[in-house]
């Protein structure tokens, strides 16, 4: 009698990558709270044990998704600002221009990290921690750039620019490609001019 060889198990790394990819797409489009583990594994063609071996819990899976979102943001950010390595002002203008273009694309759902911070108010949630750490890093980066461009109050200018960025993330979801997000670059330019113009009164 011929014995049938057992089907080899899928390598854990490959299953984990497919689960994370599927979850990331669902979390971004529908929100992390709205998506259950059953839907994730079904769409990924995986099993719950595979998910929990790789991520321990749904909360840890959310944190892994948000780490990917943070890495994606920095990829976008550097692709813009690195075109002007010696001119932080021009680099930020390039970033705002590129951000406006992304925000006008169909299916744009803002920043996954911002969305997650709203979904999960508990500061102990691993996903919220990732989001808070990322936003703090962005704030520090903006402060460094505004200081380098000679702003009289670099921290205040950086916070104003951060408010504009977060405004793009939210208003693009409310109004689509014809909303206030399209005004972000001009607003950023005006803020930077007010904070760096020679002979002008100190910005409030």
DSSP string over the chain? -PPPPPPPPPPHHHHHHHHHHHHHHHHHHH-TTT--HHHHHHHHT--HHHHHHHHSSHHHHHHHHHHHHHHHHHHHHHHHHTTSTT-HHHHHHHHHHHHHHHHTSTT----HHHHHHHH---TTSHHHHHHHHHHHHHHHHHHHHHHHTT-SSHHHHHHHHHHHHHHHHHHHHHHGGGSGGGGHHHHHHHHHHHHH-TTPPPP-
pLDDT of residue 197: 87
pLDDT, one tens digit per residue, over 170-191 is: 999 999 888 899 999 999 999 9
pLDDT of residue 201: 53
Task: Report pTM.
Answer: 0.88
pLDDT of residue 176: 82
pLDDT: is 7 or 164 the higher one?
164
Task: Give the mean model confidence (pLDDT) for residues 1-30.
Answer: 77
At 169 the three-state DSSP class reads helix
Taking 70 as the threshold, does the pLDDT of residue 204 lie above it? no
Q: Where residue 11 falls among pLDDT bands split at 50, 70, 90? A: low
The lowest-confidence range among 79-88, 91-100, 153-162, 171-180 is 171-180
pLDDT, one tens digit per residue, over 116-168 is: 999 999 999 999 999 999 999 999 999 999 999 999 999 999 999 999 999 99
Task: Give the mean model confidence (pLDDT) for residues 10-34.
Answer: 90
Residues with Cβ within 8 Å of residue 176, at least 6 apart in sequence: 104
| Distance from C-alpha of 15 to C-alpha of 50, rounded to nearest angstrom | 7
Q: Where residue 13 falls among pLDDT bands split at 50, 70, 90? A: low
Task: Give the mean model confidence (pLDDT) for residues 31-56.
Answer: 95
pLDDT of residue 151: 96
């Amino acid at each position: 009698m011929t014995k049938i060889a057992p089907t080899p198990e899928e390598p854990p790394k490959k299953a984990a990558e497919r689960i994370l990819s599927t979850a990331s797409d669902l979390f971004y489009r529908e929100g992390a709270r709205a998506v259950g583990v059953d839907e994730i594994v079904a769409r990924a063609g995986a099993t719950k044990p595979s998910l929990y071996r790789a991520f321990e819990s749904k909360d840890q899976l959310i944190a892994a998704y948000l780490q990917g979102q943070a890495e994606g943001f920095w990829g976008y950010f550097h692709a813009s600002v690195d075109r002007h390595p010696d001119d932080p002002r021009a680099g930020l203008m390039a970033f705002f221009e590129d951000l406006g273009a992304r925000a006008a694309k169909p299916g744009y759902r803002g920043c996954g990290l911002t969305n997650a911070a709203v979904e999960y108010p508990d500061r102990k949630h691993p996903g919220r921690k990732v989001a808070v750490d990322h936003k703090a890093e962005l704030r520090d980066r903006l402060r460094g750039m505004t200081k380098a461009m000679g702003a009289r109050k670099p921290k205040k200018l950086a916070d104003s620019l951060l408010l504009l960025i977060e405004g793009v993330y939210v208003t693009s979801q409310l109004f689509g490609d014809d909303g206030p997000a399209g005004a972000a670059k001009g607003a950023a330019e005006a803020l930077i001019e007010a904070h760096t113009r020679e002979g002008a009164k100190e910005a409030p």
